[in-house]
């Protein structure tokens, strides 16, 4: 089934549509409006989409988990976590300006990021404690998502094919030692000085390190190389994503990990 579909050029067409949306900064209709898409086919499209960037010289610096919190699952009406790939060109410096017109309809999320100090082989790493021992540092992060689909609406295979809406991300400047208590730390998101979200990273699959475990398993299932030392992992939004426009200033704060900033211009 997957073979026949691929031979027909379905994956190649999907990749073209998604790339055109990014280049023109115009949303496209959901892929599932015109093609039946399984989850396997969707990850195949994502793989090819990223291969185009890698062939053009981009570097994959890690992965993102998405739809790992009840708030996000409810907001997007998808209840299965997904992963996407992070490229070097998506990373912004703390406080750096982001031009609104580079994106279609950006939204910002508050997340816990981890930087691995060791590989995560799902056959050997099974608990939150095991994951903690593999982490070099943690940081508070802002993720800018930008679904390539009209109305920011999609089904599970659509969002997987679209690299889980990945667009940009910012890491806070304070890299802190891994703490197993991170799920209990308070997290707050501000837009133009006004609080627009708060919660704890326990919203993320019970513990953000559990999201790293889930990612390690998904990568193995999908034939990706295992997580390695140096990889960045965005563990998923703690609360709802917040729409942003030019002129907005966003700040994320996580107890014991400082803050992170983004300026839309
Ligand atoms: C999909 C990506 C979700 C997260 O942290 O939950 C995500 C989307 O909502 O567009 O990045
Ligand atoms: Mg996210």
Q: Map out the domains of the chain with their CATH numbers.
A: 2-264 (3.90.850.10)
**46 CB-side CA count, 13 A:** 29
CB of 161 shorter than 6 A to ligand 1 = no
ipTM: 0.99
Q: Is 250 in the pocket of ligand 1 (CB under 6 A)?
A: no
Indicate which residue's Cα is closest to atom 10 of ligand 1. Answer: 165
pLDDT in tens, 118-149: 999 999 999 999 999 999 999 999 999 999 99
How many Å lie between the centroid of ligand 1 and the Cα of residue 96?
22
Q: Facing residues of 263 across strands? A: 97, 249
Distance 78 CA to ligand 1 centre (A): 10
143-182: per-residue pLDDT in tens? Answer: 999 999 999 999 999 999 999 999 999 999 999 999 999 9
pTM listed for this prediction: 0.96
What is the three-class DSSP state of 229?
Answer: coil
HSE-CB for 103 with a 13 A CA cutoff:
23
CA of 83 to the centre of ligand 2 (A): 9
Residue 207 pairs with which residues in a beta bridge? none
% of the chain at pLDDT higher than 70? 97
pLDDT at 9: 85
Provide the CB-side half-sphere exposure for 2 (13 A, CA).
Answer: 8
Pocket lining: 143 vs ligand 1, CB cutoff 6 Å: yes
Residue 165 backbone class (left: φ over 0; alpha: ψ -120 to 50; beta: rest): left
Helix (H) or strand (E) holding 109: strand 107-116
Mutate to test the pocket of ligand 1, among 165, 170, 197 (most ligand atoms within 8 A of CB): 165
The two three-digit tokens of residue 99, written as one number? 């031009």
Whose C-alpha lies nearest to ligand 1, atom 11?
A: 66
Residue 1 has pLDDT above 50, yes or no: no
Residue 7: band (very low, low, confident or very high) from pLDDT cuts 50, 70, 90: very low
Our mutation pick for probing the ligand 1 site, out of 18, 62, 71, 76, counting the most ligand atoms within 8 A of Cβ, is: 76
Q: How far apart are alpha carbons 17 and 164 in whole angstroms?
A: 15
Q: What is the pLDDT of residues 27-45, one digit of tens each?
A: 999 999 999 999 999 999 9
User: How far does residue 7's CA lie from ligand 1's centre (Å)?
Assistant: 30
């Amino acid at each position: 089934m997957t073979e026949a579909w691929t031979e027909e050029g379905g994956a190649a067409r999907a990749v073209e549509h998604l790339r055109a949306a990014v280049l023109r900064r115009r949303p496209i209709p959901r892929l599932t409006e015109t093609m039946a898409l399984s989850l396997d086919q969707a990850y195949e499209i994502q793989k090819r989409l990223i291969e185009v960037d890698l062939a053009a010289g981009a570097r994959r610096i890690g992965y993102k988990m998405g739809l790992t919190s009840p708030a996000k699952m409810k907001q997007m009406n998808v209840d299965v976590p997904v992963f996407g790939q992070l490229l070097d060109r998506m990373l912004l410096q703390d406080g750096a300006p982001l031009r609104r017109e580079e994106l279609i309809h950006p939204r910002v999320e508050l997340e816990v990021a981890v930087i691995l100090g060791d590989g995560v082989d799902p056959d050997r790493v099974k608990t939150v404690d095991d994951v903690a021992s593999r982490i070099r540092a943690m940081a508070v992060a802002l993720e800018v998502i930008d679904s390539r689909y009209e109305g920011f609406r999609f089904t599970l295979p659509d969002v997987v094919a679209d690299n889980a809406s990945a667009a940009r991300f910012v890491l806070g400047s304070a890299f802190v030692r891994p703490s197993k208590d991170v799920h209990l730390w308070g997290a707050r998101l501000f837009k133009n000085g006004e609080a627009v979200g708060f919660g704890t990273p326990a919203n993320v699959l019970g513990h953000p390190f559990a999201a790293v475990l889930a990612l390690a398993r998904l990568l193995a299932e999908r034939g990706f190389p295992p997580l390695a030392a140096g990889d960045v992992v965005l563990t998923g939004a703690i609360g709802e994503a917040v729409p942003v426009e030019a002129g907005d200033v966003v700040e994320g704060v996580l107890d014991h990990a400082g803050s992170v900033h983004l300026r839309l211009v």
